[in-house]
């Protein structure tokens, strides 16, 4: 009887150690741990922005729960006024609608200098960290997003939480999949060829017709990060 009790305790102890180690490993690879490696604050919960352009205003819901690092990066730049008075510098509609791209093409290389100009306290800048962020894509059946790797398996692509469709907001990047910075694009139609390769982090929920009016050279007047209690305001 005593031997049986000892055996039960041993099994329970081994199970507990395995469980604790599993939790530690999960915490080690948590979003917070990943975000800590970048000069970006991750965000959570519902986030909304209004993009005021010379052609009209669009309201976007940002998917902070599935792309906390990407959304955090975007909101950080918005709060610094980086996008104010910037052009949509690339618009592709022919032969088929493709995308509208905005952001600063050379911002990656001028990041630290520009942040010194817009920041009231230059000590806030961490010169050891750049704002380039990795590809961040979340699957429906997983708790955490996947980072730094394209999703090419067709079964996994079908599980991507947010895909490219008309009005979706994604991060632009170079050939390096971990080079997203300030540039972004709106899809002008469903673009499954981009799913798993680029990070969708928002969708237009009001004013999607503005996309059909924007041409190369049109510009963003300002972008406002709005609070949930102001969502009923008219655009």
149-182 residue pLDDT tens: 999 999 999 999 999 999 999 999 999 998 898 9
Rg, the chain, Cα only: 21
Average pLDDT, integer, range 103-119: 54
21 pLDDT more than 90:
no
Pairing outcome for strands 168-171 and 136-137: unpaired
Whole-angstrom Cα distance, residue 186 to residue 101? 7
Mean pLDDT of the chain: 80
In this prediction, residue 11 has a pLDDT band, given cuts at 50, 70 and 90, of: very low
Burial 181-220 (b: 16+ CB within 10 A, else e): bbbbbbbbeebeebbbbbbbbbbbebbeebbeebeeebbb
d(CA 53, CA 68) in angstroms, rounded, equals: 25
For the chain, list the domains and their CATH numbers.
38-228 (2.40.100.10)
Do 203 and 169 meet the contact criterion of CB atoms below 8 Å apart? yes
Question: What pLDDT, on a 0 to 100 scale, did the predictor assign at position 17?
Answer: 33
pLDDT above 90: residue 20: no
pLDDT for residue 215 is more than 60: yes
Identify which has the larger pLDDT, 191 or 39: 191
Q: Distance (Å, rounded) from C-alpha 78 to C-alpha 75?
A: 5
């Amino acid at each position: 009887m005593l031997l049986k009790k000892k055996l039960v305790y041993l099994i329970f102890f081994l199970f507990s150690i395995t469980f604790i180690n599993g939790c530690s490993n999960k915490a080690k690879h948590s979003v917070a741990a990943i975000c800590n490696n970048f000069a970006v604050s991750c965000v959570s919960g519902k986030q909304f922005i209004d993009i005021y352009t010379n052609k009209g205003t669009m309201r976007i819901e940002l998917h902070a729960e599935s792309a906390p690092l990407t959304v955090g990066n975007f909101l950080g730049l918005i709060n610094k006024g980086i996008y104010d008075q910037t052009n949509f510098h690339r618009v592709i509609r022919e032969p088929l609608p493709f995308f509208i791209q905005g952001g600063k093409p050379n911002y990656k290389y001028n990041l630290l200098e520009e942040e010194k100009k817009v920041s009231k306290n230059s000590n806030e800048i961490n010169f050891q960290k750049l704002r380039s962020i990795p590809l961040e894509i979340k699957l429906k059946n997983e708790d955490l997003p996947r980072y730094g790797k394209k999703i090419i398996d067709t079964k996994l692509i079908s599980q991507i939480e947010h895909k490219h469709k008309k009005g979706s907001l994604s991060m632009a990047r170079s050939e390096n999949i971990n080079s997203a910075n300030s540039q972004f694009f709106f899809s002008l139609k469903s673009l499954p060829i981009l799913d798993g390769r680029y990070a969708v982090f928002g969708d237009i929920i009001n004013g999607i017709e503005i996309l059909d009016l924007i041409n190369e050279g049109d510009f963003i007047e300002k972008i406002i990060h709005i609070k949930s209690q102001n969502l009923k305001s008219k655009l």
